[in-house]
A = this chain, B = another copy of it.
Amino acid sequence: MSITIRKLDSAMPDFNAQLRAVLAFEASEDDAIDQAAARILADVKARGDAAVLEYTNRFDRLNAGSVATLEIGQQELQAALAGLSPTRRDALQTAADRVRAYHQRQKAECGSDGFSYTEADGNVLGQKVTPLDRVGIYVPGGKAAYPSSVLMNAIPAKVAGVQEVIMVVPTPDGVKNELVLAAAAIAGVDRVFTIGGAQAVAALAYGTATVPQVDKIVGPGNAYVAAAKRRVFGTVGIDMIAGPSEILVLCDGTTDPDWIAMDLFSQAEHDELAQSILVCPDPAYIAQVEASINRQLPLMPRHEVIRTSLTNRGALISVRDMDQACDIANLIAAEHLEISAADPQRWADRIRHAGAMFLGRFSSESLGDYCAGPNHVLPTSRTARFSSPLGVYDFQKRSSMIHISEAGAQTLGKIAAELAYGEGLQAHARSAEYRLKEPAK
């Protein structure tokens, strides 16, 4: 049964409306889920460990006697690592090393040392950069347990200098994912608790007798986790609430169509809501990719998910030229943007909005997902217009440093007082004026 993927042509008069329809996605906010998450948060805030234990035993079908028994020690993490096949262990270690190297470079290049400068009259102004003290990483359990996500969330935190990284991962029916535990060992996670859901978010946000309170919670989770994270935002920091994953491929029509078809599959196989879009100026090439999709789809183990995703949310878009393809890419602001073309940098220079850009035919998104080095936690649903990949900077914060000299206070005091009076804030004005040698007024 061949698959029907929406086809758009930028020459069609209603192209913009059609494109908007393809992109339209409303995250369903289920009020019942939100209220349930709110109740669990309040309960854990009030009752601490006792509530965490009850919810964990109930939802994950466990019989734990205390939250302390839900902690996995470093020895067990190391054992999980030692238990992997050498090939898999080496792959995980190399991926971690590359992710660490990239984020170390990011730390060095992105102003992590802060700065300061001295003005002529002796004022010193600047910015101090410090790591967060303690961070929580949520790792989903069950099917969608991705060891690569452990690396991508924990390593930037450790590179930033976070002293304590606490991982929570639910283990429904007590089933642990050895690859996830091995990844935690490699990434240098400090403590691991096998708890999940809104109760794990609550434990991290408020702290309990057993689970320490963190300053920020990152990592993906189900709808309850997302609702809980939204609600604790402010008490702790959170990362973005991720929408479905997306790939946008700009192709000039010279890459093997099988490669592009598989790249579209690699996004579509994540889940039914994932979005895969190809934009190309060559209609004949688009037809080749479509033929390849139909030929290869039955061979994929996750063909049902891929079919649903491509049918409901996929698109093949024919455009005038690569310039127009870039305009569309800026409109879509995709999480993953592959520029599979000759001279990809030429087109990359025109892109303003994208979570990550994969340049050239050999840069398949899957390389970035695992081991290229840059982070795979990326802004989805057009949020690349205003947000960034997860990075070292997400685990640091800045403080302004203001050291005004006596001489400096003479100049600045008059300015501040003038503006403070203008705003009707007399104490502000007087506070500045007290530092003047010749008191005003």
User: Is A355 a contact partner of B400 (Cβ separation < 8 A)?
Assistant: yes
Judge whether B356 and A404 touch: CB under 8 Å.
Answer: no
From 383 to 439 in chain A, residues with beta carbon under 8 angstroms from any chain B beta carbon are 383-389, 391, 393, 397-406, 408-409, 412-420, 422-432, 434-435
Whether B405 lies near A357 (C-beta < 8 A) is: no
Contact (Cβ within 8 A) A366 B432: yes
| Binary per-residue interface labels of chain A (350-362) against chain B in the complex, 1 for a CB within 8 Å, 0 otherwise | 0111111111111
Using CB atoms, name the residue of chain B closest to A408.
Answer: B362
Q: Which chain B residues border A216 with CB–CB below 8 Å?
A: 386
Picked from B117, B401, B414, the residue with its CB within 8 Å of the CB of A105 is B117
**Segment from A7-15, A52-60, A75-83, A89-97 that makes contact with B:** A89-97
Q: In the complex, what's the smallest C-beta–C-beta distance from A181 to chain B, in angstroms?
A: 13
Known contacts being A397-B385, A402-B356, is A371 close to B416, with CB within 8 Å?
yes
| Nearest B residue to A393, CB-CB | B393
| A341-379 interface with B by 8 A CB criterion | 344-345, 348, 351-375, 378-379
A359 to B409 CA separation, bound complex (whole angstroms):
12
Integer count of this chain's copies in the complex = 2
Interface residues of A in 82-139 (CB under 8 A from B): 87-88, 91-92, 94-95, 102, 105-106, 109-111, 114-115, 117, 123-125, 127-128, 130, 132-133
> Which are the 7 A-B pairs with shortest beta-carbon distances?
A110-B111, A237-B386, A374-B400, A265-B427, A356-B400, A359-B403, A362-B409
Residues of chain A having any CB pair with chain B under 8 Å = 27, 87-88, 91-92, 94-95, 102, 105-106, 109-111, 114-115, 117, 123-125, 127-128, 130, 132-133, 143, 145-148, 179, 215-216, 234, 236-237, 240-241, 256, 258-259, 262-263, 265-266, 268-270, 300-302, 306, 344-345, 348, 351-375, 378-379, 381, 383-389, 391, 393, 397-406, 408-409, 412-420, 422-432, 434-435
